[in-house]
């Protein structure tokens, strides 16, 4: 059966993503909604900085931040977690945690004039503090060092709503309290409010098929996003140090590589190039968020 382009678009408009005939599928991308759309916000997404001394990591990170503000003039920064190299391994002592956060503070001064909205990565928490009552133990300390209001939170900019999640819970998931909060958050937004979500671990996408590390509650989250498909536009993540774009039910899922690439190292035998992890170079993403709710995400490699 031959289907004209006009018919395809008409059917796709009625049931986006629905199978047509003979295995043909038509998908309407969330982009290009209106002809006269305007960029409402330009946002830089950095993730997996893993700052540490050695390999000139602080100098290279600082140079890249300067490059981002000089070249792109973003409205603000999103930081996807694993900000410090690691506080989570059993052998980590207090001085190492203090040193890494001090390096973070020093580097981030480069963008002191910009707002930075961070989420928690698995390497940011010191679980081996001598006691749970220790001021540096666990998530509360990382929240404090990242200067964020809570381990999960939301904010508004222009007509967009931003939701920052904490997937550092059982089997990489949202805990019940956080999931209820997210449900309520999406429910209470006016219809068609464009929403960007950011978490450390990918919710859907290609990278977790290759290396694991995705949300175990991805189906539950996918269902929730489908319920609010007039709002949820894009989910950003990191953790896997790999870059991909996956579009599902008109939501774009982007794992935006890693600022540190191969953890600031040269890469290994499987890497495609210097500093790469597998085929992904070190980099950051630049997002254009439009006033009509459409969004573009570009992963930009860096060679600092």
For Fe ion, the binding residues (CB under 5 A) are: 48, 82, 121-122, 239
Nearest to 247 by CA among 230, 235, 260: 235
Beta carbon of residue 71, minimum distance to Fe ion (angstroms, whole number): 24
Nearest to 80 by CA among 52, 42, 122, 109: 122
Sequence-ordered list of residues with C-beta below 8 angstroms from that of 195, at least 6 positions apart, any chain: 160, 161, 162, 163, 186, 189, 228, 231, 232, 233
Beta carbon of residue 288, minimum distance to Fe ion (angstroms, whole number): 25
Q: Which is nearer to Fe ion, 48 or 217 (CB)?
A: 48
Nearest to 107 by CA among 140, 85, 126, 123: 85
Contact 83, 258 (CB under 8 A): no
Q: Which is nearer to Fe ion, 166 or 185 (CB)?
A: 166
For 65, phi and psi rounded to 5 degrees?
Answer: -60, -45
Q: Which is nearer to Fe ion, 151 or 233 (CB)?
A: 151
Q: Which is nearer to Fe ion, 46 or 116 (CB)?
A: 46
Beta carbon of residue 45, minimum distance to Fe ion (angstroms, whole number): 14
Nearest to 290 by CA among 37, 80, 108: 37
2 HSE (CA, 13 A, CB side): 1
Beta carbon of residue 269, minimum distance to Fe ion (angstroms, whole number): 20
Q: Which is nearer to Fe ion, 162 or 264 (CB)?
A: 264
Beta carbon of residue 284, minimum distance to Fe ion (angstroms, whole number): 14
Using CA atoms, how far apart are residues 231 and 209, in angstroms rounded to an integer?
27
Beta carbon of residue 201, minimum distance to Fe ion (angstroms, whole number): 7
Beta carbon of residue 178, minimum distance to Fe ion (angstroms, whole number): 18
Q: How does strand 160-164 pair with strand 195-198?
A: parallel
Q: Which is nearer to Fe ion, 222 or 239 (CB)?
A: 239
Q: Which helix (H) or strand (E) holds 188?
A: helix 176-188
Q: Which is nearer to Fe ion, 121 or 275 (CB)?
A: 121
Contact 147, 124 (CB under 8 A): no
């Amino acid at each position: 059966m031959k289907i004209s382009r006009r018919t395809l678009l008409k059917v796709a408009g009625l049931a986006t993503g629905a199978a047509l005939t003979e295995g043909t599928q038509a998908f309407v991308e969330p982009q290009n909604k209106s002809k006269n759309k305007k960029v409402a916000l330009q946002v830089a997404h950095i993730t997996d900085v893993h700052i540490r001394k050695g390999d000139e990591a602080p100098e290279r990170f600082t140079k890249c931040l300067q490059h981002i503000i000089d070249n792109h003039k973003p409205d603000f920064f999103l930081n996807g977690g694993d900000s410090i190299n690691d506080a989570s391994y059993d052998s980590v002592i207090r001085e190492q945690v203090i040193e890494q956060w001090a390096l973070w503070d020093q580097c981030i001064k480069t963008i002191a004039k910009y707002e930075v909205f961070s989420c928690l990565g698995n390497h940011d928490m010191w679980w081996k503090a001598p006691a749970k009552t220790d001021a540096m133990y666990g998530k509360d300390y990382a929240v404090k060092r990242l200067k964020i209001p809570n381990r999960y939170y939301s904010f508004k900019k222009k007509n967009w709503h931003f939701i920052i999640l904490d997937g550092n819970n059982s089997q990489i998931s949202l805990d019940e309290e956080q999931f209820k909060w997210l449900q309520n958050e999406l429910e209470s937004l006016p219809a068609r409010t464009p929403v960007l979500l950011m978490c450390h671990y990918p919710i859907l996408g290609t990278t977790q098929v290759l290396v694991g590390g995705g949300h175990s509650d991805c189906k539950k989250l996918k269902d929730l996003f489908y319920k609010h498909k007039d709002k949820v536009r894009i989910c950003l993540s990191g953790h896997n140090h790999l870059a991909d774009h996956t579009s599902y039910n008109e939501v774009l899922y982007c794992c935006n590589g890693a600022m540190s690439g191969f953890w600031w190292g040269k890469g290994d035998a499987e890497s495609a190039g210097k500093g790469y992890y597998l085929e992904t170079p070190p980099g950051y993403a630049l997002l254009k968020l439009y006033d009509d709710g459409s969004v573009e995400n570009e992963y930009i490699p860096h060679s600092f």
